[in-house]
């Protein structure tokens, strides 16, 4: 007991509890009916202890709970059943027995600190000893043993599962979580100290006759001064500990190693019929490798679920070849039909070259006009590109350019966002690219009339939610956009500042090629591919069939990924992270993103847990299927086999030399 790292009164109380259960060496065995005993031992309520004439002792207020971990004892015989405990050193015929009283180990939790009292074990075959909380030995035990442990144990320290659950749930940085845990630990100390002081005040009030009758305790006891409670760190008192952000980082990495197989299998079990991909460097700025800067590349499906996420050093297509090969292997092994459409932010068609404009050329409308020769040059020859998704995933996949990125390239060539004509130009340009479905518009206006809203001019939000839009075919689209360009190409504000930069001419010529090649136009397919039906809504909460309008959710484009990029940057806490922490937080964020989207979809046939824990859900599905014959959460079914895909920083791209890439529009 002298080597135990706790206060003396904590040692005495734990020994008393173990003796009462017959677990202390030399104590008499205790027969417990039905073996109905809890491995948790809670300290007595200090306010209820009768100290006779003495003042309340601080020792009773400074006790912490402890958990008994003695797998070899009779109290855990029901858990063992016929299982033979293994030897730490791998004996073929192990005979594991108790070899002493063991030791307590302090644990940090969100509800305060507690101890795990582990036994000391010995194998009679090899005559070697070890403690029952050894991480190496715990790895040899079945999962139903380690599941009842309240903490994750390492060689030096341990952390409560509640802390890791909170860290995984909130996505906080280790430093923020360390501050929160330390505050909670000190909060419990202050409450215990206050309870001790109030217990003394209660005794003094009774002796003073405040409650109507005086007690004689003050005349019996020898010492009337209360004992000091001690500080938080006092080893002979509260014996409080603190947790550092560095240790929580190590625990987070250890937890990720435990969760990583389930996360990867869940990601490998994601499919889709439409792909949307995009590059970003927002999150990549938070990690720096010796080889240089990186980019984040993610593929979404029609429901905005992440199908794959990798970090690449080059934004060239060859860097993505192994990723698409892995996705193709995933679809082939699962016998799922491959995606037929792919919206991208670049490289949507065959490469072409647009020369720089001549100074002053942008002032002449003839330089902006589209001639038959321009149309013929843009639409002749091979138009399809040799991107990685087409060459290594699906040769028949249709590549489309995202409208959001096209519009952004136009807006960047305006003089300023604060130009008086900027908002008008953006509104008209956006309207030129989109044609509202007239049938949906008529239904929405009829709903306005039914609700008594006059004039029946739908708002932008209602148009976006309840009306489908379509990007016209190349000829019509070119005519609509060119009229907007013609209207604004020489426009100026009252201070004679033009709306367009001179470089707008080259941008128009580049985007015109994409328009003529049909990179932006919607494919001539069924509406269910372009939009997902989201149910109905009673407009303005007015009852009746006349106020019922449909909800349409678009699946084209990559604009939703811009929001994903923002969230992705928040997952990696701080301004800079190590590669290990970056990978752990990034993969956890991707898995949580997919889980939360499944919750938001609210499909009636999808049953989801109320918690996010990939390893726990994988274990629940496996055990539930063995017991009942079916999976508990079929939607969270992991891939049956490892396809060999690697995600995040674990992705290995073909060797490439870092350098400036070409203009993405001219490749």
219 domain-assigned: yes
**Sequence-separated (6 or more) residues with CB below 8 Å from residue 282:** 296, 565, 566, 568, 569
**Sequence-separated (6 or more) residues with CB below 8 Å from residue 485:** 368, 508
Least confident of 279-293, 501-515, 623-637: 279-293
- DSSP, collapsed to helix, strand or coil, labels residue 206 as helix
523 domain-assigned: no
CA 25/CA 2 separation, integer angstroms: 16
CA 170/CA 163 separation, integer angstroms: 11
Judgement on whether residues 236 and 284 belong to the same structural domain of the protein:
no
420 domain-assigned: no
Q: How confident is the model at residue 659 (pLDDT cuts 50, 70, 90)?
A: very low
Q: How confident is the model at residue 217 (pLDDT cuts 50, 70, 90)?
A: low
Which is more confident, 16 or 607?
A: 16
The total number of structural domains in the chain stands at 2
447 domain-assigned: no
CA 535/CA 553 separation, integer angstroms: 10
Closest by CA to 61, choosing from 155, 190, 161, 176, is 190
Judgement on whether residues 34 and 170 belong to the same structural domain of the protein:
yes
Compute CA distances 166 → 111, 278, 485, 585, 587, whole Å: 12, 31, 53, 14, 17
CA 386/CA 391 separation, integer angstroms: 6
pLDDT in tens, 343-370: 988 888 988 998 888 998 999 999 999 9
Asked whether the beta carbons of 304 and 360 are under 8 A apart, the reply is: no
- DSSP, collapsed to helix, strand or coil, labels residue 500 as strand
Q: What is the signed CA dihedral for 171, 173, 175, 181, rounded to 10 degrees?
A: 0
CA 285/CA 295 separation, integer angstroms: 8
CA 340/CA 526 separation, integer angstroms: 13
Please give the mean pLDDT across all residues of the chain. Answer: 87
Judgement on whether residues 311 and 232 belong to the same structural domain of the protein:
no
Strand duo 274-280 + 341-344: pairing: parallel
Neighbours of 203 (CB within 10 A): 20
Place of tokens 């699946």: 555
Closest by CA to 159, choosing from 169, 145, 149, is 149
CA 242/CA 232 separation, integer angstroms: 10
Q: Is the pLDDT of residue 549 over 50?
A: yes
Closest by CA to 349, choosing from 512, 478, 239, 164, is 512
Judgement on whether residues 203 and 328 belong to the same structural domain of the protein:
no
Judgement on whether residues 72 and 183 belong to the same structural domain of the protein:
yes
483 domain-assigned: no
Asked whether the beta carbons of 325 and 388 are under 8 A apart, the reply is: no
Judgement on whether residues 234 and 295 belong to the same structural domain of the protein:
no
Q: Is the dihedral of CA 286, 289, 292, 296 positive or negative?
A: negative
Geometric angle at alpha carbon 582, from 581 and 586, rounded to 5°:
115
pLDDT in tens, 35-72: 667 899 999 999 888 876 788 899 999 999 999 999 99
pLDDT of residue 511: 95
Compute CA distances 141 → 147, 160, 204, 251, 362, whole Å: 10, 19, 54, 21, 75
Tokens of 278: 């995009």
Phi-psi region of 69 (alpha: psi -120 to 50; beta: other; left: phi over 0): beta
Q: Is the pLDDT of residue 655 over 70?
A: no
Asked whether the beta carbons of 274 and 339 are under 8 A apart, the reply is: yes
- For 465-488, what is the mean pLDDT? 93
476 domain-assigned: no
- For 176-180, what is the mean pLDDT? 92
CA 136/CA 126 separation, integer angstroms: 17
DSSP letter at 214 equals -
Tokens of 448: 């306005």
Strand duo 103-109 + 40-41: pairing: unpaired
521 domain-assigned: no
Q: Is the pLDDT of residue 133 over 50?
A: yes
- For 490-516, what is the mean pLDDT? 94
Judgement on whether residues 115 and 192 belong to the same structural domain of the protein:
yes
CA 531/CA 534 separation, integer angstroms: 9
Q: How confident is the model at residue 409 (pLDDT cuts 50, 70, 90)?
A: very high
Q: What are phi and psi of 166, to 5 degrees?
A: -70, -40
Judgement on whether residues 160 and 297 belong to the same structural domain of the protein:
no
Judgement on whether residues 192 and 325 belong to the same structural domain of the protein:
no
pLDDT in tens, 292-347: 668 889 999 988 899 999 998 888 888 899 999 999 999 999 889 999 999 988 88
pLDDT in tens, 371-400: 999 999 999 888 888 889 999 999 999 999
| Residue 588 half-sphere exposure toward CB, CA atoms < 13 A | 30
Geometric angle at alpha carbon 148, from 150 and 99, rounded to 5°:
90
Compute CA distances 203 → 43, 210, 229, 345, 387, whole Å: 22, 10, 17, 75, 82
Q: What are phi and psi of 473, to 5 degrees?
A: -70, 165
pLDDT of residue 325: 93
**DSSP string across 505-562:** HHHHHHHHHHHHTTSSSPPSS-HHHHEEEEEEEEGGG--SGGGEEEEEEE--SSHHHH
Tokens of 559: 């604009």
Judgement on whether residues 132 and 80 belong to the same structural domain of the protein:
yes
Q: Is the dihedral of CA 615, 620, 626, 629 positive or negative?
A: negative
Judgement on whether residues 319 and 227 belong to the same structural domain of the protein:
no
> Which ranges in 335-387 belong to alpha helices (H)?
372-379
pLDDT of residue 444: 92
Instruction: Give the domain range for residue 597.
Output: 276-349+384-402+559-667
For residue 373, the Cα-to-chain-centroid distance in whole angstroms is 52
Strands lying side by side in the sheet with 96-98 = 96-98, 120-123, 128-131
Judgement on whether residues 208 and 337 belong to the same structural domain of the protein:
no
Q: Is the pLDDT of residue 601 over 80?
A: no
pLDDT of residue 478: 95
198 domain-assigned: yes
CA 626/CA 292 separation, integer angstroms: 48
Q: What is the pTM of this model?
A: 0.82
Q: How confident is the model at residue 219 (pLDDT cuts 50, 70, 90)?
A: low
| Cis preceding linkage at 299, omega within 30 | no
CA 593/CA 599 separation, integer angstroms: 10
């Amino acid at each position: 007991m002298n080597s135990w790292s706790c206060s003396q009164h904590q040692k005495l109380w734990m020994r008393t509890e173990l003796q009462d259960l017959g677990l202390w060496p030399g104590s008499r065995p205790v027969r417990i009916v039905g073996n109905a005993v809890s491995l948790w031992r809670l300290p007595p309520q200090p306010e209820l202890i009768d100290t006779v004439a003495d003042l309340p002792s601080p020792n009773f207020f400074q006790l912490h709970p402890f958990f008994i971990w003695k797998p070899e004892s009779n109290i855990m015989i029901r858990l063992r059943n016929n299982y033979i405990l293994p030897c730490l050193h791998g004996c073929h015929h192990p005979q594991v027995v108790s070899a002493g009283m063991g030791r307590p180990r302090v644990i940090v939790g969100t509800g305060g600190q507690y101890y795990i009292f582990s036994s000391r074990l010995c194998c009679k075959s090899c005559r070697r000893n070890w403690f029952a909380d050894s991480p190496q030995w715990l790895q040899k035990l079945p999962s139903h043993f380690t599941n009842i442990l309240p903490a994750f144990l390492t060689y030096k320290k341990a952390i409560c599962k509640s802390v890791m659950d909170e860290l995984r749930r909130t996505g906080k940085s280790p430093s923020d979580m360390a501050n929160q845990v330390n505050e909670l630990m000190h909060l419990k100390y202050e409450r215990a100290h206050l309870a001790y002081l109030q217990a003394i005040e209660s005794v003094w009030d009774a002796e003073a006759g405040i409650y109507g009758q005086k007690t004689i305790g003050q005349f019996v006891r020898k010492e009337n001064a209360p004992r000091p409670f001690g500080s938080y760190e006092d080893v002979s008192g509260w014996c409080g500990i603190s947790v550092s952000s560095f240790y929580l980082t190590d625990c987070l990495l250890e937890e990720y190693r435990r969760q990583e197989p389930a996360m990867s299998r869940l990601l490998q079990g994601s499919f889709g019929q439409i792909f949307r991909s995009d590059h970003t460097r927002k999150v990549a700025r938070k990690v720096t490798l010796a080889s240089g800067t990186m980019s984040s590349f993610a593929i979404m499906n029609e429901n905005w679920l992440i199908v794959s996420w990798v970090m690449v050093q080059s934004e060239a297509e060859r860097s993505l070849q192994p990723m698409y090969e892995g996705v193709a292997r995933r679809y082939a092994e699962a016998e799922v039909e491959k995606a037929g459409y792919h919206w991208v932010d670049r490289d949507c068609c065959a490469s072409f070259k647009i020369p720089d404009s001549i100074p002053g050329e942008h002032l002449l409308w003839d330089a902006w006009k589209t001639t038959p020769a321009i149309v013929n040059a843009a639409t002749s020859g091979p138009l399809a590109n040799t991107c990685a998704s087409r060459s290594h995933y699906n040769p028949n996949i249709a590549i489309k350019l995202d409208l959001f990125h096209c519009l952004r390239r136009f807006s960047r060539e305006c003089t300023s966002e604060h130009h008086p004509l900027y908002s008008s130009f953006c509104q008209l340009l956006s309207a030129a690219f989109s044609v509202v479905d007239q049938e949906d518009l008529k239904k929405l206006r009829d709903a306005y009339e039914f609700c008594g809203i006059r004039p029946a001019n739908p708002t932008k939000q209602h148009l976006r939610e309840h009306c489908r839009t379509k990007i016209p075919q190349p000829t019509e689209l070119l005519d609509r956009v060119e009229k907007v360009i013609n209207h604004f190409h020489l426009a100026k504000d009252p201070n004679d500042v033009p709306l367009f930069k001179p470089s707008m001419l080259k941008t128009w010529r580049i985007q015109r090629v994409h328009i003529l090649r049909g990179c932006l136009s919607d494919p001539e397919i069924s509406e269910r591919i372009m939009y997902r039906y989201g149910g109905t809504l009673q407009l303005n909460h007015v009852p009746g069939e006349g106020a019922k309008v449909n909800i349409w959710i678009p699946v084209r484009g990559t604009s939703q990924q811009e929001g994903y990029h923002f969230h992705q940057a928040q997952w990696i806490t701080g301004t800079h992270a190590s590669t290990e922490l970056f990978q752990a937080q990034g993969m956890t964020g991707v898995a949580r993103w997919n889980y939360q989207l499944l919750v938001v979809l609210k499909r009636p046939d999808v049953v989801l847990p109320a918690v996010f824990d990939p390893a726990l859900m994988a274990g629940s599905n496996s055990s539930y299927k063995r017991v009942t014959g079916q999976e508990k959460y079929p939607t969270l079914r992991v891939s049956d086999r490892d396809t060999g895909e690697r995600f995040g920083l674990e992705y290995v791209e073909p060797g490439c030399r870092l350098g400036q890439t070409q203009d993405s529009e001219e490749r």
